[in-house]
Amino acid sequence: MILYHINGGFPAVAEGARLISPTREVRPRDQEAEIGKENYHRFTAPISGFKEKVYYHEMKEDASGLIHCALVNEDFEGGFGFYVSYKKNQLPRFIQWKMMGESDYVVGMEPANCGVEGRDKKRQRGTLKFLEPGEKKEFDLEIGVLDGKEAINEFKKLVEG
């Protein structure tokens, strides 16, 4: 099991910022995430008493098998964001953690080959996988910065295909 928990805060996360992704389907983890699910990709100013929301995404890979997603604030100093690109066949799951609280103001982008339920749940279901002695797995992941409107627009084109 591997999950890359990549947190973004200000300035990538701010009122008016958003998640750019090739999401085909988004599924809320629980009742709390169901509330406001249509705005999973939009971010607000910090909210007192905000409860975390977790979303499972089904993403569309590009022709080379890569998924590209980013947190972007187009209103910050000409545009700013950061992205993650990874191979869908290595990391088929994507989890988004959205926390718009006053002291916890962050969005997590989480490419993974597992969910967030943990090993015990996987073990109970009989779906926990192990590496054999000497076996190895490789994961390709790129994290980068989007500096300015031009870089953000190029990234949008990449995501839209």
| CA neighbours closer than 13 Å in the CB half-sphere of residue 147 | 2
Residue 65 CB partners (closer than 8 Å, separation 6+)? 87, 88, 89
- Could you tell me the domains of the chain? 6-127+139-160 (2.70.98.10)
What pLDDT tens digit does each residue of the chain (161 aa) get? 889 999 999 999 999 999 999 999 999 999 999 999 999 999 999 999 999 999 999 999 999 999 999 999 999 999 999 999 999 999 999 999 999 999 899 999 999 987 777 778 878 888 778 888 999 999 999 999 999 999 999 999 999 87
Tokens of 85: 């690109």
Tell me the β-bridge partners of 96: 55, 109
pTM of the model: 0.91
Distance in angstroms (rounded) separating the CA atoms of residues 67 and 23: 10
Burial class (CB in 10 A: 0-12, 13-18, 19+), 147: middle
Q: Would you say 152 and 74 are in contact if contact means Cβ atoms under 8 Å apart?
A: yes
